[in-house]
Amino acid sequence: MFKKAKQSRVFQDVVEQIQDAILAGTLEPGTKLPAERELKDMFNTSRGTLREALRVLEQKGLIEIKLGVAGGAIVKQIDADPIVESLALLIRSGGVSLEHLAEFRIKIESSIVELAAQRATPEDIQEMERLFKQAKTYFENQDWENFLKTDETMHTYIGIMSRNPVFQFVQKVIHDNIHQYYESYLPMNHGRTLENLTDFKKIIDAMKIHDSAMAADIIRDHVERFNIKMQKQTDAPD
């Protein structure tokens, strides 16, 4: 399965060979890699180099290292968790400004909404209306926290409706972490929540008739309006 590592770049070669085998499907999820001693002989490398390479593969989310008698390096199902965590930390750390976030959402989220409107099924519309009704209930009860959580779910579901796993991933990461900006710069109140709710009703109505251009225009306008409101709060004197 593996060949001796190039001695000029042993560590990198070990990582790449195992990674390539996983990505090519030669090593399927759930497969246990050969024992450490066997791998060391296959690659003709030291135990220290091998262990460091396995740690890198674990950090990449490609394998899981289990301890104990029945332990070892197990190939994982590839998912986006490590990327999600990195992007989430970037957003939470303040490394993404309001301007960056608004620019991204105007350019990308409008495209996601456009695709969602084009590809919306009756079941999708039914789910969006269910979430809208739930959000409306929270609005009427002035439960702003749960309103924002439902708003997050609605945006994430729009990503699902796009039927594009890349857009789905991006939409979820952004909206799993975006509400800290509202908490810091624009806490929800009756007026802001009603405005949010009204915009979503318009988007759903556009989706019902598959008017993708209208749906995209509504979300662009929504993002621009709320970004202006947040910018005013950041510019306001203490």
- Quote the CA–CA distance of 91 and 146 in Å, as a whole number: 21
Q: What is the pLDDT of residues 112-132, one digit of tens each?
A: 999 999 999 999 999 999 999
Q: What is the pLDDT of residues 55-114, one digit of tens each?
A: 999 988 899 999 877 789 999 987 766 666 776 777 777 777 888 888 989 999 999 999
Label residue 71 left, alpha or beta by phi (over 0 means left) and psi (-120 to 50 means alpha): beta
- Quote the CA–CA distance of 61 and 205 in Å, as a whole number: 41
Residue 172: pLDDT above 90?
Answer: no
DSSP code for 28: -
Output b/e per residue, 215-231; b: 16+ Cβ within 10 A: bbbbbbebbeebbeebe
Give the pLDDT mean for 207-220.
Answer: 97
- Quote the CA–CA distance of 87 and 194 in Å, as a whole number: 30
The domains of the chain, with CATH numbers, are 7-75 (1.10.10.10), 81-235 (1.20.120.530)
Which pTM does this prediction carry?
A: 0.70
- Quote the CA–CA distance of 119 and 203 in Å, as a whole number: 14
What is the token pair recorded at 96? 């993404």
Q: Residue 13: what pLDDT?
A: 92
Q: What is the pLDDT of residues 144-153, one digit of tens each?
A: 999 999 999 9
Yes or no: say if 19 and 60 are a contact pair by the CB < 8 Å rule: yes
Banded pLDDT at 203 (limits 50, 70, 90): very high
Q: Residue 128: what pLDDT?
A: 98
Give the pLDDT mean for 213-218.
Answer: 97
Q: Residue 236: what pLDDT?
A: 62
Q: Which residues are within 8 A (CB) of 108 and not within 5 positions of it... i.e. 6 or more apart?
A: 167, 170
Q: Residue 223: what pLDDT?
A: 92
Q: Residue 237: what pLDDT?
A: 60
What is the token pair recorded at 197? 């709710």
Share of the chain above pLDDT 90, in %: 63
List alpha helices for 44-121, DSSP H: 47-59, 81-92, 98-104, 110-119
Name the nearest CA neighbour of 206 among 97, 113, 130: 113
Q: What is the pLDDT of residues 9-20, one digit of tens each?
A: 888 999 999 999
Q: Residue 63: what pLDDT?
A: 93
* Helix, strand, coil percent values for the chain (each to nearest 5): 70, 5, 25
